[in-house]
Amino acid sequence: MVKMTESTYRIQGGTGEWEVVIGLEVHAQITSKSKLFSGASTEFGAEPNTQVSLVDAAMPGMLPTLNAECVRQAVRTGLAINAQINKYSRFDRKNYFYADLPQGYQISQLYHPIVGEGVIQISLDEKDPDAHGKAIGVERIHIEQDAGKLMHDQHPTMSYVDLNRCGVALMEIVSKPDMTSPKEAAAYVRKLRSILRYVGSCDGNMEQGSMRADVNVSVRKPGGELGTRTETKNVNSMRFIQAVIEYEAQRQVDLIEDGGTVVQETRLFDPDRNETRSMRSKEDAHDYRYFPDPDLLPLELEDDFIFDCKASLPELPDEKRARYKNVLGLSAYNAAVLTAEHETALWFEQLLDTSDEPEKIASSAANWVTSELFGALNRLGVGIENSPVSPAQAAELLGLVADGTISGKIAKQVFEIMLETGDGAKKIVEEQGLVQESDTGAIEKVIAEVMAANEDKVAQYRDGKDKLFGFFVGQTMKAMQGKANPQVVNELLKKILG
């Protein structure tokens, strides 16, 4: 693995260059129908307080019971980042008072998390990820309960609380402080999100709060001792994560260079003003009084369970990318782009599956997906899972190009019609008479007409003005409404013009 060298991120201060050290704690909502310790639904967007069980509302005498699906998803996630799976883990109570936390404690895993150290490969170079990759360490993954939501805008003097989210299962994925630039942090979150979505353990939806990050930032002179870090809580977009790092790094450098010291504290990001603000310092920090939850037994995993979790994993993005490159012969860029999102890869593979010899069509299909299809989807503003053209329809279109029925240029035209009408490529080509003309007789006839109409240019070409060859190709194609097989046109023109 080649270390990243080109993108060293530095803050220029009055006293010289500063290096930024970043660690992320990503909270990812586990995909499960019911909550971590209760049977209440986790569906997003329900009316407030309609998905709250007696356990979630912390009624007297209620007890948590662990949702096995959440455990399974956490283990699968750990396996997907080659992490150590801890066969013994335990739940602890994190005690603090807040209106969105009915129990007065969050059930989490401080002392014995379910997943230990793992690693996530990132890259800043989309064109050639392998050449510029970097390994970011993951310290641990633990599972814990989410809190409810306070609503301050419902009443002039009171705050309301919605407990629908209360008790929903989260994975907290804690990175090592291995990132050194906002771009690396963004690449890490992007890659993590991709893996979670491949695994199916989190939908990665940042707008709905399914994924959010606590961003730890410190600065130091390059290679020096680690500085004091600040933690900016609950940052919920890729752009904001980068903004927090940029702002915090600059603020800390300015502070230190002005003779101040960075205080270890919790901060909040204000997206309107693009700045972070102090929430509470270490001195006012909560004493969470963690201790093992006596309502829950230690969680002990059997080898068979872990084996089944492993067996249930799909091909993951890095393996898939390698296969696309090495087996399907795709370019590094295409392989990277097609595997970044699981849906894209699945769509692409469905397209390949229509062929008996997928390797033969892989490259042209990949080119078509990354250029034509992505362009169209971008324009329409839809994801590939909602593509108006199905993989089978795309295969039909590409098949017509491959067997020479239509030219690449006509294919673009046919694709546009497919997008508009939903019709199949063959039907469009037949109805609109777009079949490519490869009949040499017909083409020769047109060439003769073009030459007759442009005798001067023929003479000039024959006098050595080679550049005019393109003119004749264009005129011939134009006269045939683009339906002529360009290869045949080229060959015939060369022969006839001499």
What is the C-alpha separation between 5 and 134, in angstroms, rounded?
Answer: 10
Q: Is 358 helix (H, G, I), strand (E, B) or coil?
A: helix
Answer yes or no whether residue 156 interacts with other proteins by CB under 8 A: no
| Strand spans (E) along 30-71 | none
Answer yes or no whether residue 14 interacts with other proteins by CB under 8 A: no
Answer yes or no whether residue 289 interacts with other proteins by CB under 8 A: yes
Q: How many residues bind other proteins (CB under 8 A)?
A: 30
Q: How far is the CB of 88 from other proteins (least distance, A)?
A: 16
Of 97-105, 227-235, 349-357, 434-442, the segment contacting other proteins by CB under 8 A is 97-105
Q: Quick check: 366 and 330 in contact, CB under 8 A?
A: yes
What is the C-alpha separation between 56 and 70, in angstroms, rounded?
Answer: 16
Q: How far is the CB of 236 from other proteins (least distance, A)?
A: 24
C-beta closer to other proteins: residue 287 or 456: 287
What is the C-alpha separation between 409 and 418, in angstroms, rounded?
Answer: 15
Answer yes or no whether residue 93 interacts with other proteins by CB under 8 A: yes
| Interface of this chain with other proteins, residues 42 to 81, rule: CB under 8 A | 54, 57-66
Answer yes or no whether residue 99 interacts with other proteins by CB under 8 A: yes
Among 78, 102, 133, 182, binds other proteins (CB under 8 A): 102
Among 156, 294, 433, 498, binds other proteins (CB under 8 A): 294
- Name, in order, each residue with C-beta under 8 angstroms of 410's C-beta and a sequence gap of 6 or more: 429, 434, 436, 482, 483
User: What's the number of CA atoms in the CB half-sphere (13 Å) around residue 382?
Assistant: 11
Q: How far is the CB of 150 from other proteins (least distance, A)?
A: 9
Of 101-109, 322-330, 372-380, 443-451, the segment contacting other proteins by CB under 8 A is 101-109
Answer yes or no whether residue 103 interacts with other proteins by CB under 8 A: yes
Answer yes or no whether residue 88 interacts with other proteins by CB under 8 A: no
Please identify which residue in the block is written with the tokens 């960075």: 262
Region for residue 135 given its phi and psi (left: phi exceeds 0; alpha: psi -120 to 50; beta: otherwise):
beta
Q: How far is the CB of 54 from other proteins (least distance, A)?
A: 6
- Outline where 369-468 has alpha helix (H): 374-380, 391-402, 408-421, 425-431, 440-453, 455-462
C-beta closer to other proteins: residue 290 or 333: 290
Question: Count of CB atoms within 10 A of residue 37's CB?
Answer: 25
Among 35, 86, 90, 105, binds other proteins (CB under 8 A): 105
Please identify which residue in the block is written with the tokens 């890095």: 318
Q: List contacts with other proteins (CB under 8 A).
A: 54, 57-66, 93, 95, 97-99, 102-105, 159, 161, 287, 289-291, 294-297
